[in-house]
Structure 1
C-alpha cells in the first residue's frame, strides 16, 4: 500500500481550494456583487477547482486501494479490506462534515439577523441531505428553483462519498475489465450534453484519476515522465497558463459546447499526472510552494468552512457595521476578515478534528486487523 505523501499533489489541492474560494466570493461574501469580480468572471471562472479535487481523489484513493483489493486471496479478505477502507474514509471525512453542518444549522437559528444563512427550513433539508449523502441530487433539483441552504458545497462531498462507496465494488466486479469500464465512463461523459443533474453527478475527472493510478504500475508511466518540465521556468509557466486556460474555458461563453466539462476533466487529470511524479515539475521548491502545499493540507477544512466564514462576516457586518452598509462597501476589510477567520477556523479544524479522528480511524482498522489475526485457523487449537 502506497502512503507516500506527494507534495506536488498537495500543491494542486491548494490551487483547487483557492480557486473554489475565489469563485464563491461573489454572491456569498459580497451578495450584491463587486464590479471587478464580475469583470474577472467574464474572462475566467475557477469552479473547475472542484474537478481538480475529483481527479486528485480518484488518483490518491485508487493508488492505495486497488493494489490491496487485487492482492486479495479470498472473498472474505476482499470484504475486510473494503470495510477497512470505508472506516478510514468515514473517520477522515464525516466528523468535520457533520460538525460544520451542525454549526451552520445552529447559525441559521441563532446568528441570522441578517438572513445571511438562509431559512431554517432550507437548512434543515440541506443538513439532512449532507448527512445522508444525497446533497448532489438535492442541489441539482433546487438549482434555480428553490433555496438550498448554506451548505450547498456539500454536493461535491456527497458525490465523492458515493464514489468511495462504489469504487471498491467496481474494482471487485469488473476486475480485468476495470480500465475499459472507466474509459467508457469518461468517453460517454465527454460527448454528453451536461444537464443540471449530470453536472452534479459528473465522474469523468474521478475516473481519469483512477486510470492514472492504474497506469503508475506500468513501465510506460516512467517512460512518459515529462522530464522536459524540469527546465527552469517551464513548469510554472505551464501551471499558470493551464489554470488561466481552464478559467477561460469555464466561463459562460463556453456553455454552448458539449465538451467543456469533459475537456476540463482531462486537463485536470493532466495536471495530476505531472504532479504524480513529485519532481517539482509544476513549481520549484520555495516559500510559495510551501505555502500552497500548506493550504492543500488544510484544503478539506477550508472547503467546508469558507461559506460559513463568509456568512459570519456578513452577519457581523450587519450587527456591528455602519447602519445600512454591507461588506461590498469596504471589500478589502471584509476580505481580510474573512480570510483571517477562514484560516483560523480551518487550522483549528485540522488539528482538533481532522488529525485526531483520522488517527482514530486508523487505530480502529489496526485493532480490527489484530483481532482477525488472533482468531485461530480451522484445525488449530489455541492455548
Structure 2
C-alpha cells in the first residue's frame, strides 16, 4: 500500500468525529434538556464514532509500520524504525493534546464564572492523566463516581498512545503469528461483558484495523473488492445504513447489549474495509466529499477542541445573560451555530499553526537521526 491519502478514510474520520460531537451536545453544550435531542438519542446514539476511529487508527498505522519492520534485516534497523515511528507519533499527537490541556486548565481559572469548565482540582488531576497517558484508567475509575474534568475525551487518546507504544513491540514478539494473536484478542473481547475498565482498554477495534491492513497486502483482498458499491449512490446508501444500524446498537433499545462493543467494532471494520480500496465507494468525488475530507483531516483537532468550545459557549452565554445582554439561552440553534463556528475556526488554526508545523518538525528530526521513514500516511489517528 502506498502512502497516498484515501479519501474514503477521510470521509469516515469526518463521520466519526461528527458523531462524537453530536453525542456530546447534551450535557456539554446544553445543560438543560433539549426535547429533540432526547428523542433522537432514544433511537440513535453516535458515540460509536470512537470505535470507528480505533479501526481507522489500526489500519492506517499497520499498513505502513508492519511492512517497514518486516523489511528490516538487522536488529539495529528494526529499532531505528521503531524509534522513528514513536517520534513521528509523538510530534503528531502530543503538541496539540498538551496545548489544549493547558488551555482548559487556564480556562478553569480565568473563564469559569459559570462553572462550565468544572473544578480546579478535577482539571488538575485530568491534566496529569492526559499528559502521562493514563486518562483511560482514570476515566474508568471516575465513571459515575466523581468529576473527571473537562478533558474526559482524552481517555481514547491515551488508549491509542498505549497502542502506539506497544504495537511495534507486539510485531517483533509475535512475528509470523501476529494475525493469530490479533484474532484471539478480538475473539476474547467479542464475547466478554465490558466492565468500565474493559470499556477503556477495548482493543478489538484497533486489532481489526490492523488485521485489515495485513489483509490488504494479500491477493485475496483485491478479489473481495465490493465493486457493486461503485454504482451511483449505492455506497452512500450503504454508509448511511451501517451508520444508522450502529447508532441504534449504541442505544439501550439494543437487546444484545453484552455484545454491543464487539459488534460495533466489527461493523466499523466493515466500513474501513470498504474505504480501504480507495475507490470513493462511500462518497463520490465532489463538493460533499471535499467538505467531509476537510473535516476528516482536521478531525484530531476537532476532537480535542469540541468540549472546551462547548464549555466556552456556555460561559459566554452566562456572562451575556449576567450583563443583561442578548445571549444564546433558550435558542438551541443559535447556540449550536456559535459552537460549530468556534470549533471550525479553532480546529483550522490548530491544524495550520500546531499540527502541520510539528508534524514537519518530527519528520525532520527523524531524518536527522538517520531513521528510515515508514509509509504511514500523513493524516494520523484521532481520537475521541
Tell me the distance in 1 between the aligned counterparts of 2:203 and 2:330.
40
SS at match of 1:159: helix
Other-structure match for 1:208: 208
Q: Is 1:342 aligned with 2:348? A: no
Moved more, 225-234 or 251-260: 251-260
Residue 255 of structure 1: CA displacement? 6.5
Q: Using structure 2 for the length normalisation, give the TM-score.
A: 0.94
Residue 257 of structure 1: CA displacement? 2.6
Q: Residue 370 and residue 14 in structure 1: after superposition, are their counterparts in 2 closer, same or farther (change >3 A)?
A: closer
Give yes or no for contact 2:179–2:211 (8 Å, CA) kept in 1. yes
Give yes or no for contact 2:317–2:329 (8 Å, CA) kept in 1. no
Give yes or no for contact 1:33–1:328 (8 Å, CA) kept in 2. no
Q: How does 1:183-194 map to 2 (within 5 A)?
A: 183-194=183-194
Q: Which runs of 4+ in 1 moved over 3 A?
A: 322-328
Tell me the distance in 1 between the aligned counterparts of 2:326 and 2:193.
42
Tell me the distance in 2 between the aligned counterparts of 1:89 and 1:77.
18
Other-structure match for 1:368: 369
Q: Is 1:354 aligned with 2:355? A: yes
Give yes or no for contact 2:190–2:259 (8 Å, CA) kept in 1. yes
Tell me the distance in 2 between the aligned counterparts of 1:346 and 1:185.
35
In structure 1, runs of 5+ residues without a counterpart are 372-383
Other-structure match for 1:77: 77
Q: How does 1:1-383 map to 2 (within 5 A)?
A: 2-254=2-254, 257-321=257-321, 327=328, 329-369=330-370
RMSD: 1.5
Tell me the distance in 1 between the aligned counterparts of 2:205 and 2:328.
35
Other-structure match for 1:380: none
Tell me the distance in 2 between the aligned counterparts of 1:234 and 1:189.
32
Tell me the distance in 1 between the aligned counterparts of 2:2 and 2:259.
34
Any idea what the Cα deviations from partners look like across 1:219-256, whole Å, max 9, x if unmatched? 00000000011111211110111111100010122365
Structure with higher Rg: it is: 1
Residue 370 of structure 1: CA displacement? 7.2
Tell me the distance in 2 between the aligned counterparts of 1:209 and 1:369.
29
Q: Residue 317 and residue 255 in structure 1: after superposition, are their counterparts in 2 closer, same or farther (change >3 A)?
A: farther
Give yes or no for contact 1:44–1:251 (8 Å, CA) kept in 2. yes
Tell me the distance in 1 between the aligned counterparts of 2:165 and 2:126.
21
SS at match of 1:3: coil
Residue 2 of structure 1: CA displacement? 3.3
Tell me the distance in 2 between the aligned counterparts of 1:282 and 1:354.
27
SS at match of 1:241: helix
Give yes or no for contact 2:320–2:326 (8 Å, CA) kept in 1. no
Residue 3 of structure 1: CA displacement? 1.6
Q: Residue 133 and residue 370 in structure 1: after superposition, are their counterparts in 2 closer, same or farther (change >3 A)?
A: closer
Greater relative contact order (CA < 8 Å, ≥ 6 in sequence): 2
Q: Residue 370 and residue 193 in structure 1: after superposition, are their counterparts in 2 closer, same or farther (change >3 A)?
A: closer
